[in-house]
Amino acid sequence: MRYGIITTGSRGDVQPFIALALALMGKGHDVTIVASENFREFVEGFGVQYLPVAGNTEHLINSPEALKLLEGGSIFKFFYHLQKVAAQTADQSNRDIMEACSHFDGLIVSVLPLPLVYSIAEKSGKKCAVVFLSVPPIPTREFPYQVLGTKGHPLVNKLSYRLMGLGYAMISKQVNRFRKEIGLPIINVMKACLQSDMLAITAVSQQFIQQPHDWPPNAHVTGFFYLPPSAREKPSMNEIPEGLEDWLAKGDKPVYMGFGSIPIPDKEKLFHALQGILTQRRVVFGAGWSILNGGGAPGSGSTAGGGIPTHPNLFVTKYVNHDWLLPRCSTAIIHGGIGTTSAALRSGTPIIVVSILADQPVNGKMIEQKKLGYHLPFKRLSPKNLLQAIHAAEDPLIKENCRATAAAIRSEDGLGNAVDLIEKYFAHAPAK
C-alpha cells in the first residue's frame, strides 16, 4: 500500500506519525508524511519520505499575538487566532494537501487536518483513518469532553461532547468553502467523521486512557507510538548536547524542565520560578520552540539581561532526546502535551505538569489523580509553588507508581496494534 500520513501542528503532532511511518515501512508499505514546511529536515532525518504543506507552525506560534493569547490561557481564543492567521495560507496549503493525497492509496490523518482530508477522501473515493494523539472527541459516558476535566455524571459526560461544535465552528467556513470548490455538499464534517465507520485510533496507553465500553467498534485505544531507539539516534535534533554528559556526572540527578513546542507565555514568571529553585536543585532546561533572551549556558551569576538565569546548576539546550535524558532525571517539569507526557511516563520519572492550555490541564489532572506526579497550572507558578510541587512529586509512593506504570507501558505495543488495525482496515481499499 502507498500510505499518506497528513499531520499539522507542533513537533508533538508529527513525531508519533514518524514512528507510525517507520512501523508501516517495516511491513513493506510505501509511506509519505505530509506536514508543515518547517518539518522537512525532521521527517527526512528519519529516512521517511516527506511532502510539504505551506506554512511554518513554529513561526506562527511565536508571533507576539499568539504569545499574548498563550499567556491568557483561553484555548478558544488561541486557536481562533491560529486559524485566522492560517487562513492567509489556507488556499495554498489546501492545494498542497489535495495534490499530495492524489498519490496515495490510503489516507491517515491527525485531528487538525481531519475535516479537510476527510473531504478529500470523500471526493476521491479513498479510505481514510484518523489517529488521535490525546483524549479523543469520540462521545462516551465514561469521561467528559477534555475541556471539562476528567470526571462527571455519565449523562452529562456524553452531552459534553457537543462542545466540540464550538471548535469546529471556527473552521467550518473555510472547510465548507473548500468542499464547494471540489464539488461536495456543505455538511458538518466533524459530525460526519464521528458518525462514520472510519478507523479511529487513539494512540495513548491504556494506563492513561482506558478504552470506553460504549465506543463504536471502529474506535480503538492502541497504546503510545514510540520511536525505536535505533531511529532516535539518526536526526541531529536528538544528538546529546555537547557537555551534557560531563555536566550530569558532576552532581546529583537533575530536574528536567521543558515546554516542547509551546513557547513560554510569561518568561519573567518562569525565569523567576527557575531562579528560585537553582540554589537547591540542578536543572536541565529544554528550550524547544521557546525563544530565550540572554543567559542560556552553564555559568555563574543570576539573570542575564532579563533572560534565562545563568547558574552552575543550570544546563540549557534547545532539543534533547527525552528517552535518553529523562531516566537520568529525578523529576520532569513539562507543559503536559501528550508527546512529552508519554516520554516521561515510559521513563518512570515523576511528572509535574505546568499546564498552559489545550489538553495540558486534563493531562495534568490525570497525572495527579493517578498519583504519578503533580499538577501546577502555569498561572500559579512561583518559586515556592514549584519547590513544593517537586517535593510532592518525589514522594516514595509516587516514585513507585511511576516505576510500575512505566513497566506496564513498556509491555504495550501501541505501534504493532495500530499497524494491525490499519492493514486490516485498508486491505479492501476501494479501487481508484
**What are φ and ψ of residue 95, in 5° steps?**
-65, -40
Residue 389: all three cell numbers together? 510541587
Q: What pLDDT does residue 405 have?
A: 97
pLDDT score at 299: 36
16-32 burial code (b ≥16 CB/10 A, e <16): bbbbbbbbbbeeebebb
CA-CA distance, 196 to 425, in Å (whole number)?
Answer: 14
Mean pLDDT confidence for 395-406:
96
For position 162, what pLDDT does the model report?
79
pLDDT of residue 326: 95
- Cell numbers found for residue 266: 510569561
The sign of the torsion formed by the CA atoms of 50, 53, 56, 58 equals: negative
**Which residues, in sequence order, are bridge partners of residue 308?**
none
pLDDT tens digit sequence for 125-159: 999 999 999 888 899 999 888 766 667 778 888 88
Identify which of 382, 394, 335, 342 has the alpha carbon closest to the alpha carbon of residue 360: 335
pLDDT of residue 88: 67
Average pLDDT of the residues of the chain? 87
Q: What is the pLDDT of residue 297?
A: 43
* Separation between Cα atoms, residue 149 and residue 74, nearest integer Å: 15
The answer to whether 20 and 2 have CB atoms below 8 angstroms apart is no
Q: Which of 9-13, 155-159, 246-250 has the highest mean pLDDT?
A: 246-250
Cell representation of residue 403: 516505576
Q: How confident is the model at residue 83 (pLDDT cuts 50, 70, 90)?
A: low
Among 33-42, 281-290, 340-349, 390-399, the least confident range: 281-290
Q: What is the pLDDT of residue 67?
A: 67
pLDDT at 233: 66
Percent of the chain at pLDDT exceeding 90: 60
**Residue, of 96 and 82, whose pLDDT is higher:** 96
DSSP state of 253: P
Tell me if 26 sits within 8 A of 418, measured CB to CB. no
Listed in sequence order, the residues at least 6 apart from 153 whose beta carbon sits closer than 8 Å to its beta carbon are none
Which residue matches cell numbers 476521491? 124
Cα separation, 367 vs 240, whole angstroms: 28
Q: What pLDDT does 78 receive? A: 65
The answer to whether residue 82 scores a pLDDT higher than 70 is no
SS3 call for 72: helix
Q: What is the pLDDT of residue 295?
A: 43
